[in-house]
Every structure is written in structure tokens, then in C-alpha cells.
Amino acid sequence: MSDTTQHTIEYYKSELVKKDEIIKKLSEEVDKDQLKELKIQYQELSNINYNLKTENERLKIENEKLLEDLRKKEYKVEENEEKREVTDDRNTHQNSLLSQESKQEKVETTETVAVTPVSETPEPVIPEGIKKGNLQKQSQLLKTFDRRYFVLTKDTLYYYKSSNDPLNEKTIDISSDCNVKIVEGTTFDLEAKSRTYTLIADSIEERDSWIKELKECNVNVIPSGKEKSASNKKTEETTKLEIFKSENENDINIQQKPVFPEGVKTGNLHKQSQLLKTFNQRYFVLTKDKLYYYRSSNDPSTQKSIDLSSNCKIKIGDNAKFDLETKSRTYKLIADSEEERDSWIKEFKKCNIIIVSPEKEKSMSVKKVEESTELEAPKSENENEIDIQQSVGNTSDKAADAVEAPV
């Protein structure tokens, strides 16, 4: 290797070393500046954090003081309300007593009330109720929940700060128009006259137990929205089932084809129409108390009926004719032959229908005429018997002509 090349190599090496030193210096300077800035920022942040902590502690202390003051005020307000209620009750009771008693008794009662020593007042005791237990009660002002000891009687719900503190007694009157409303979970509202008390039980079972006992004390239980929707769904389902059943019954009734009844006698007869007075062939079915008729023996859907249960008559006419007289109308009928007509009349007679023949009608009319002539006998004994016989003969001939006249 030549000296020149070696010299150049060494030169470049020295240059590279210089560059590395320059880069190190620059990097150290940059890092130092950045570290300074970061330290300044960190110090500022730490100062801000310290200030925030101190401010937060100060606010906590102030809030706690405010809460204590508000609780004291709320407790005092409730105590004043209860005292006012008690004094009102006492005043009303005393007024009623004073109105009933005389003036002397009034004075004596006031003196005895004034003389009674304060030391003789009994110590407060927690009453024996239907149900006892702890519930969370929401305060009226702060809306916070505090644990209280509750005792339920027939007409009052008592609550205390604890089960060992009967002095701090407060009451809720549940004697008239109170409602219990299930809110959500273990929460329920007791709506009294003065205010609504929001209560929380330890479990759903405990909540249901309280609601059950309140219900037995004649407190109205209002179901929640979910229970209402469930009951509405049940009613809707029942109505749907009833509608479905009725529709199915109607479908079954519609699907059932009409059938001819089983009768004593069946067959075709010609019946006179009520308006046009024309005779049309119809298919008849005779039962014990009804006569059904149809357009044909293949069409039971065109059913009509004649009631034979009371005071029906059959008048026998010429050839194969006969009339069926009912309360509402007279049906004129014609059989295919006299034998067929007599067969129908025989069966009608078995159904306790009166049969009137032309001979009977004639004899009936003759009898009526004779009776009338006998009643209208002459007042004088010298009247001629021949004239009576002639008049009877004429009237009988007229009656016979009237019967034999075509209808």
C-alpha cells in the first residue's frame, strides 16, 4: 500500500471521528433542552394537581357540613309537623270534651291538666306491630336513602332511626286512601295524604311481604307497568281465545248441513199461497207438535213450520181438499188423492188435532138453528107449528148451502 492512499484513509477516519463528536454534542444539547421543558411542564402539572386536591377536599368538607345542616332541618321540619298534628288532635279532642261537659268540669279539667307533673310522662316504647323490619327511606329534601326501622300497625306505619331508639319516632297515617305502588326491583312507593314515601327493601321477597301486610291493612296496591301489561296480555289472550272459540263454533254451525226432522208422516201436498192464492207443490213432514214444509224433498234449507201445539182444527173439503186452521192463519191443502188425504187426517188426529167433517158441520149448524128457534119460541100459544117447521127447514137449507159453497 502506498503512502498516499494510507494518508487519505487516515484523513477520512479523522474526519469521521470529528463528525461523530459533533453529532454527540448536538444530541446532548437537544436532550438537555427537551428535558428542561418536560421538567417545567411536569412541575406545572404537579402544582395544578395539588391545587385540585386541596380544592376537592375543601368542597367535600363543605358538602358534608351542608348535608348535616339539611338533615337537621329536615328532621326538625318533620318533628314540627308531627307535633302540629298531635296538638291539633288534642285540641279537637279537648274541644269535644269541653262542649259535652259543664263549665265547672271545664275548670276542673284545666286545673288537673295544669297540675299534672311532667315527670310522670311514660317513657316512649316501640309499639308491637303486625310487621317489623329495616327499609331504606328516601329523604324529602336531599333525595338520599337512609336506613330506618319500620313498625306496621293496622292504621299507622311508625319508623325510627334504629330499633333501639324509640325517642325519634315518626308516623305515616295509612288509615284512609293510601296506595302502594311497585316501582322497580325492590323499590316501592307508599302514597299517603301528606306525601309519597319511596322505600327500598333488602330483597324482592321482603318487599312482597311488606306489600302483603299493607294490603291486609286496607291499603290499595297499584301494580307496576310490567304487571299491568302482563294482565292486559292475559285479558287479550283470553278474549282472543273466546273469539276463536266462538268463530269455530259458528264455523261448525255453518258447516252443519240442515237435515229433515224425523216425522210421523212425510209426503207431497199442494199448498195455497197467501197472496197469489195459487197452489204449489210442497214437501211436508208431520211431527207431534209441528208441521214442517219445504220446496222439495231434496232441499231441507228452505224449512218453514206450522205450530200444532194449541187449538188447531182440520176441516175436510171436497175431493182431496182439507183446511188446517191455526191461530195465525188457515192453510188450504190438496192431497194427490182422497186416500192420501185420509191418511194425513188420520195422522193429524193422532196428534190431538180436532177433525171437522162436512156432515158434522151441517149437524152443528142445524142444532144451532134449532136451539135459536126454540129460544125464540112464540110468546102466544096460538102460533102455528107449521110455520115453525117451515122456518127451520129454510134455515137448515141456507146453512147447508153456506157449508157446501166453494171457498
Q: What pLDDT, on the 0 to 100 scale, is given for residue 132? A: 92
Cβ contact 224:183 at 8 Å: yes
Q: What pLDDT, on the 0 to 100 scale, is given for residue 83? A: 75
Cβ contact 255:297 at 8 Å: no
Answer whether 124-227 and 265-376 agree in fold: yes
Q: What pLDDT, on the 0 to 100 scale, is given for residue 1? A: 62
Q: How far is CA 330 from the centre of its chain?
A: 54
C-alpha cell at 23: 453529532
Q: Output the CA–CA distances (angstroms, integers) from residue 259 to 255, 298, 324, in the order listed.
A: 12, 10, 25
Q: What pLDDT, on the 0 to 100 scale, is given for residue 78? A: 79
Give the span between the Cα atoms of 407 and 404, in whole angstroms: 9
* Average pLDDT of adjacent 10-residue blocks, the chain of 407 residues: 77 84 76 77 88 90 89 81 73 69 55 48 82 92 90 92 87 88 90 90 93 91 66 64 62 66 93 91 94 93 89 90 92 94 93 81 61 53 50 49 41
Q: DSSP for 263-312, please give it.
A: -SEEEEEEEE-TTT--EEEEEEEE-SSEEEEESSTT-TTS-EEEE-SSS-
Domain spanning 265-376, CATH architecture: Roll (2.30)
| Beta bridge partners of residue 134, listed in sequence order | 149
Q: What pLDDT, on the 0 to 100 scale, is given for residue 135? A: 95
Which residues have C-beta within 8 Å of that of residue 307, sequence separation ≥ 6?
289, 290, 326, 327
Instruction: Identify the H or E element spanning 322.
Output: strand 321-325
Q: What pLDDT, on the 0 to 100 scale, is given for residue 274? A: 87
Instruction: Kindly state the DSSP code that residue 258 receives in the 8-state scheme.
Output: P
Q: What is 124-227's CATH number, 3.40.630.30, 3.20.20.70, 1.10.10.10, 2.30.29.30? A: 2.30.29.30
Q: Where are the domains of the chain?
A: 27-98, 124-227, 265-376
Q: What pLDDT, on the 0 to 100 scale, is given for residue 370? A: 63
